[in-house]
Amino acid sequence: MLRREFITVVGGLLTWPCVVRAQQTERIRRLAILMPFPETDPEIQRWLTAFKEGLRQSGWIEGGNIRTDTYWAAPDAASIGKVAAELLDRKPDVVSAIGPLAVAALRQMTGKIPIVFTGVADPVGSGLVGSLARPGGNITGFTLGEFPMGGKMLGILKQIAPQIARVSVIYYPQQAPQVGRLAAIQTAAPSLGLQVNGASAANADEITQAIENVGTDPSRGVIVLPTPVTIANRSLIITLLARHRLPAVYEHAVFAREGGLVSYGPDRPAQMRQAASYIDRILNGASPADLPVQDPTKFTLIVNVKTAKALALAVPPALLAAADEVIE
C-alpha cells in the first residue's frame, strides 16, 4: 500500500467515530400538525401534501432531520381542545394549525411553543396576535384575507345570477371571524340591491335545515363561508343546493370542482407551502413574534359552466374571462 493511501485510510478510521457520534447526537426536530378535518378527506390530504412538499423544498426530510405528527380532530371546540392538549403534551418544537378554533385552543395552553397558522380570517380581532406586522408572541401565519373579500363574493354571485334579491350566508358563529365576515357581506349588500341574512350551521343537520329554509325561491342565492364543517359536508351542500336550484358562491375551490357553481378565494395549497417556509425559518432560529402575518397573495376564481347550465344561468363573458379555471 502506498504511504499516501495508508495515511488516508488511517485518517478516515480515526475520524469515522466522530462523524457517527455527530449524526447520533444531531437532534431530530419535531413538528406537530393540528387538522380539524376528517383524515380521509382527499382535499385536506392535498393541502397536507403541499405543506410537506414545502418542507422538503426547504431541506426538511421526514425521518431524517424532522419527525412530523399529524393530529386529527372533529370541527368543534371541545374536540379540538382535547387533541390540542394531547399534541402539546408531546412537546413539539413547532406546531402548524388550521383555523381559528385550533389556534385559539393552542394559544390558551402554551405561550412558548411556536405556532404557524393558516385559514384564519381575522387573527388580530380574534386576539391571536398583537398585529399583522409584528405578531409579538408565539403565533404567526397566513390569513384568509380581509373581510371586504366577502363583498367580492357577493358581487360575483350577483354577476352570475342577476335575478337574485336576497342572499343567505351559511356560516359558523362559533368561530368569531365568521361573524365579522357576515357583517362585511351585509355592509356590501345595499350597493348591489341585495338583502343578506345569516344561517348558522354547526353540523350536517343545521346545514340541511339552513338550505331547506331558503327553499326554491328563484330570487334567493347562497354564500357558503369556509369552515371545517362546510368542507366536511360539501357533498351534502352541493347536492341540496342543486336540488333547490339555488345559485351559490363558495370560497374553497374544491366546491366548484365537485359541482358547485362558482368559487373565489385563496389558493390553499399555495398557502400551505408558504406556511412550510415559516416552519423552516422558525426551526432555523427565527421567532414567530418577528415574522409578519401575511394575507393571501393568490386568489383563484373557478366557474362551473356545467352547473350554470343546469341552473339555466348564462355566465357573463367578463366572468369567464376573469376565471382561473372554467369547468365545462
Domains of the chain: 28-144+267-297 (3.40.50.2300), 149-266+300-327 (3.40.50.2300)
> What is the pLDDT tens value at each position of the chain, 328 positions in all?
334 343 344 444 444 444 333 333 468 999 999 999 999 999 999 999 999 999 999 999 999 999 999 999 998 899 999 999 999 999 999 999 999 999 999 999 999 999 999 999 889 988 999 999 999 999 999 998 887 778 899 999 999 999 999 999 999 887 778 888 899 999 999 999 999 999 999 999 999 999 999 988 889 999 999 888 999 999 999 999 999 999 999 999 999 999 999 999 999 999 999 999 999 999 999 999 999 999 998 899 999 999 999 999 999 999 999 999 999 9
DSSP string computed for 192-227: GT-EEEEEE-SSHHHHHHHHHHHTT-TTEEEEE---
Torsion sign (Cα): 94, 110, 147, 164: positive
Distances in whole angstroms, Cα of residue 114 to Cα of each of 23, 30, 34: 26, 12, 13
Check: CB of residue 209 under 8 Å from CB of residue 233.
no
Measured CA to CA, the distance from residue 89 to residue 95 in angstroms comes to: 12
Amino acid identity, position 317: P
Please choose, from the candidates 247, 192, 197, the residue with its C-alpha nearest in 3D space to the C-alpha of residue 218.
247
H or E element at residue 59:
none
pLDDT at 26: 65
Check: CB of residue 151 under 8 Å from CB of residue 188.
yes
Please choose, from the candidates 238, 255, 269, the residue with its C-alpha nearest in 3D space to the C-alpha of residue 301.
255
Check: CB of residue 323 under 8 Å from CB of residue 153.
no
Distances in whole angstroms, Cα of residue 135 to Cα of each of 177, 230, 281: 17, 29, 15
Please choose, from the candidates 302, 312, 77, the residue with its C-alpha nearest in 3D space to the C-alpha of residue 218.
312
pLDDT at 173: 83
| Neighbour tally for 192: CB within 10 Å | 17
Check: CB of residue 278 under 8 Å from CB of residue 96.
no
User: Burial code of 219-232, b = ≥16 C-beta within 10 A, e = fewer?
Assistant: ebbbbbbbbbbbbb
42-57 helix and 268-283 helix, angle to the nearest 10 degrees: 40
| Neighbour tally for 218: CB within 10 Å | 15
pLDDT at 216: 83
48 burial via Cβ count (<10 Å: 0-12, 13-18, 19+): buried
Measured CA to CA, the distance from residue 85 to residue 127 in angstroms comes to: 20
Which distant-in-sequence residues (6+ apart) come within 8 Å of 199 by Cβ?
Answer: 168, 169, 170, 171, 210, 213, 214
The cell numbers describing 318, all together, are: 367578463
Backbone angles phi, psi at 322, to 5 degrees: -85, -15
The strand pairing partners of 195, in sequence order, are 166
pLDDT at 15: 46
| Neighbour tally for 117: CB within 10 Å | 28
H or E element at residue 34:
strand 29-35
